Amino acid sequence: MAGTYLDTIVAAHRTAAAQDERSLDHLVEAAARQAPTRGFGAALAAGDTLRVIAEIKRRSPSKGDLNPGLDPATVAAAYERGGAACLSVLTDAEFFGGSADDLRAARGACALPALRKDFTVDARDVADARLMGADAILLIVAALDDTELRSFLALAGDLGLDVLVEVHDERELDRAADAGASIIGVNQRDLTTFEIDRELAVKLAPRMPEGAVTVAESGIRGTEDARAVAAAGYHAVLVGESVVTSGDQTSAVQALARVAR
């Protein structure tokens, strides 16, 4: 996997973490004093239609600029009008053009729970997410060893954060289950090549642990793709490119949010 997109991005984040001299204890103490979160996992489990996690993303390493001039508050409000259950907000600056300010602005403009979409590689990243107002964090199994995965899951729980644990294959799904993940996302985009396999989520559905909230990520172009993953038992979809680049973001989300599950 040397030289892949994932390796490059994770290496940059690990370098930054190694240079971070802030006290973890102080960050955790401050994070623990924040207002209650909005319940990301509960929002995904509710209802009898597919839950939509609508993403605020300016650009990606594979596609370049998607919507570089977007206003996070305006987009978040449009997503909420369309019936989104949650937000996903990119906070990585170097590779995705995001920021903590994007998350704050988006969450402040609506009542939806917000996922901090970033590459969590250090316990301070978990505390930072809580401090910037996130209701949930992303943990990418491919980027972490088992000790990190379990440790970050535990810390997030202590701080009141939900965790979307992202997998890309059967082995990673087994690791997520063994670590006790309760919200599991199958990213159909291979983060080593950024290619999409639109059958991956359906393929992995039977292996999902009982009781887990399940999310299909990437490659959801519209209602046909959404119906396929809903029929396979998924609770939710995480959609970025197809909604953030839409000329009518409210309607784009609304179409997905009407899919029965």
Residues labelled as active-site residues: 55, 57, 117, 166, 187, 217-218
Total number of residues shown for the chain: 261
What is the C-alpha separation between 223 and 220, in angstroms, rounded?
8
What is the C-alpha separation between 31 and 152, in angstroms, rounded?
14
Cβ proximity of 161 and 129 under 8 Å = yes
Taking the C-alpha atoms of 97, 99, 103 and 109 in order, what is their torsion angle to the nearest 10 degrees?
-80
Cβ proximity of 76 and 253 under 8 Å = no
